[in-house]
């Protein structure tokens, strides 16, 4: 009896540990990103020290080839990564959820066609699609990177939304809503979206992590935001030639990138565990 009663509590404890770690890591990046809007240790493009200096009190993770402060660039990198992640997920979610809901309501052949198209799109790597979209726009900018990643993510969101919405639409409470006189748009707004939201939100967190890594990859390949936007991906690329003489230049943005990606994944895991726990309760 007693261990039956204790088990949900124990599980809730683990849940909140994962969630807490995720919130702390992501929260740290958010705090740094917001801080860069009002304060930075150095002017990001000013030559504030010697070239390729090591860590010191003045330059916590040293300087780059041109003597710019790396920590300042790391901090701006947090803001860029979060902006890209949020922007890409917002665009991917808007397009993806709309298409997914449409497919869930579509006639048989349109639904089949949409589902097949989505499967093909998903078979292409996210990064490849993003690169194609960036290549199609004239200039590489922060905006084009966000739009490119958003479009690349939307197929995954659409496929998930379609499946989740279909599962909800066969429920009796949807039929009850129809016989209660609720219109389809209203049914989507008050029944379908709230019921698929928990699972979708976990997926959005995972997509956010993917977008952050993909943005770093785009920047690494020179397809991301151009200077003066400091991106972890570009920092990695710039540090490549000097990785043996000044390893911090590559290690620091690597750690920043990995910590945000892990934080977001922990957050997603924590959210999922919470949702599962709520489900077993009901």
Binding site for other proteins (CB under 8 A): 171-173, 175-183, 186, 190-191, 194-195, 281-282
Residue 52 backbone class (left: φ over 0; alpha: ψ -120 to 50; beta: rest):
left
H or E element that contains 216? helix 193-220
For other proteins, which is the closer residue by CB, 245 or 282? 282
Q: Minimum Å distance from CB 13 to other proteins?
A: 22
Q: Give 69's strand partners.
A: 63
Sign (positive/negative) of CA torsion 142, 148, 152, 154?
A: positive
Kindly tell me which of 144 and 195 has the beta carbon lying closer to other proteins. Answer: 195
CB of 275 to other proteins, least distance (A): 12
In the complex with other proteins, the residue whose CB is nearer, 181 or 228, is 181
CB of 97 to other proteins, least distance (A): 17
Burial code (b: 16+ CB inside 10 Å, e: under 16) for 73-107 equals: bbbbbbbbbbbbbbbbbebbbebbbebbbbbbebe
The tokens describing 122, both together, are 């998903």
CB of 168 to other proteins, least distance (A): 9
Q: Which is nearer to other proteins, 138 or 172 (CB)?
A: 172
Nearest approach in angstroms of CB 133 to other proteins is 35
Compare residues 141 and 182 and give the one whose CB is closer to other proteins.
182
Residue 26 pairs in a beta bridge with none
């Amino acid at each position: 009896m007693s261990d039956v009663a204790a088990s949900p509590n124990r599980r809730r404890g683990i849940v909140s540990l994962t969630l807490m770690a995720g919130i702390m890591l992501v929260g740290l990046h958010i705090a740094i990103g917001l801080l860069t809007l009002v304060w930075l240790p150095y002017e990001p493009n000013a030559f504030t020290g010697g070239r390729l200096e090591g860590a010191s009190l003045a330059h916590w993770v040293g300087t780059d080839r041109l003597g710019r402060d790396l920590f300042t660039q790391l901090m701006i990198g947090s803001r860029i990564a979060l902006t890209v992640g949020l922007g890409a997920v917002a665009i991917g979610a808007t397009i993806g959820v709309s298409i997914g809901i449409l497919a869930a309501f579509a006639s048989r052949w349109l639904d089949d066609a949409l589902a097949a198209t989505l499967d093909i799109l998903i078979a292409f790597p996210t990064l490849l699609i993003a690169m194609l979209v960036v290549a199609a726009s004239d200039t590489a900018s922060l905006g084009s990177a966000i739009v490119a990643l958003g479009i690349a993510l939307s197929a995954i969101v659409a496929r998930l939304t379609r499946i989740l919405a279909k599962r909800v639409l066969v429920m009796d409470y949807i039929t009850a809503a129809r016989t209660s006189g609720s219109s389809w748009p209203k049914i989507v707004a008050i029944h379908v979206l709230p019921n698929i939201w928990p699972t979708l939100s976990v997926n959005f967190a995972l997509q956010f992590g993917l977008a952050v890594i993909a943005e770093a990859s785009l920047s690494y390949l020179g397809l991301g935001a151009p200077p003066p936007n400091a991106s972890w991906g570009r920092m990695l690329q710039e540090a490549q030639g000097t990785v043996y003489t000044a390893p911090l230049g590559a290690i620091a943005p690597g750690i920043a990138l990995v910590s945000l990606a892990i934080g977001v994944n922990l957050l997603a895991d924590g959210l999922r565990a919470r949702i599962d726990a709520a489900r077993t309760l009901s």
